[in-house]
Amino acid sequence: MIADYHIHTVLCRHAEGEPRAYVDRACALGMVEMGFADHLPLLGDWRPSADVPDDLAMRRDELDGYVALVQDLAREYRDDARILLGIEADYIAATLDETAAVLQEYPFEYVIGSVHTLGDGLVFDHSALRGRLRERGVDGVYVESYGLVAKAAATGLFTTIGHFDLAKKFGDRPRDGVAVAAAASAALRAVAAAGTALELNTAGWRKPVAEAYPAPNLLAEAARLGIPLVFGSDAHAPGEVGQDFGRAAAVAREAGYAALLQLSTGRRQELV
């Protein structure tokens, strides 16, 4: 079974279920490798620009406990599956130095680089702010978020880029397809230049857009650029681990991928 590298825990404040249940689900599916990648805490004095529930990430004083939890599970299940210690870190320019310092402080085996927030602090994928996204202008959200993805890749801090085209989450499609496509292509070229991997995130099939991240045409472009690919369910409940991976494998093959990157070894394995 294909490894799932995007699994959350209740520490993120918007997931459910015991961490052990996620591992049991992965093992039941036949995964020999998986990774937890919960949200890195908000750092410094940065906060979103609009009121949102306190459900974005774990607190700074919970990070040690998260690391210990995953390491304990890795030891407990070592005969069944390899459990990697990952983290999902937002690219936020205002806290980039703090982010780099924290990532150096802990023994993370991989880091998912994500963009959930625009430069002015708008968390554009939060359901509580869906109206703000439309007020802001959907095309502008797409273009700006792709620009931030390009900057994130260029930092070299991230192993993979998560949910590349997250701006489509609620089904909002751009009007100026040419400008948005150009921004997406520029971001993919930045990911390729940085040697960063791309995540095929199946959570999009569970969202209003009903399409995995990234879209098939963007995935095909990533394949042409030689960008390594990993799979992530973005699981926030145990039953979501590995969800739609068979469908994702078919989409990846159609896009031109014949192999996936194994994060524990850095080698590519045949996509079967």
pLDDT, tens digit, 9 for 90 and up, residues 117-152 = 999 989 989 888 877 777 878 999 999 999 999 999
DSSP state of 213: B
Backbone torsion region of residue 234, taken as left when φ is above 0, otherwise alpha when ψ lies between -120 and 50, otherwise beta? left
pLDDT score of 220 more than 80:
yes
CATH superfamily membership of 4-270: Metal-dependent hydrolases (3.20.20.140)
Structure tokens, 263: 């994060």
The pLDDT of residue 71 is 98
Alpha helices in the chain (DSSP H): 19-28, 63-76, 96-105, 130-136, 138-155, 177-194, 216-224, 245-255
The pLDDT of residue 47 is 86
In angstroms, the CA 129 to CA 127 distance is 5
The pLDDT of residue 15 is 86
Residue 231: closest CA among 239, 240, 150: 240
Cis? peptide before 238, omega within 30° of 0: no
Given a contact cutoff of 8 angstroms between Cβ atoms, the answer to whether 170 and 132 are in contact is: no
DSSP state of 212: P
Domain ranges of the chain: 4-270
Beta bridge partners of 7: 36, 235
Q: Who has greater pLDDT, 44 or 25?
A: 25
On average, the pLDDT of the chain sits at 95
The pLDDT of residue 134 is 78
Report the pLDDT averaged over residues 260-269: 97
Positive/negative CA dihedral, 252, 253, 255, 257? positive
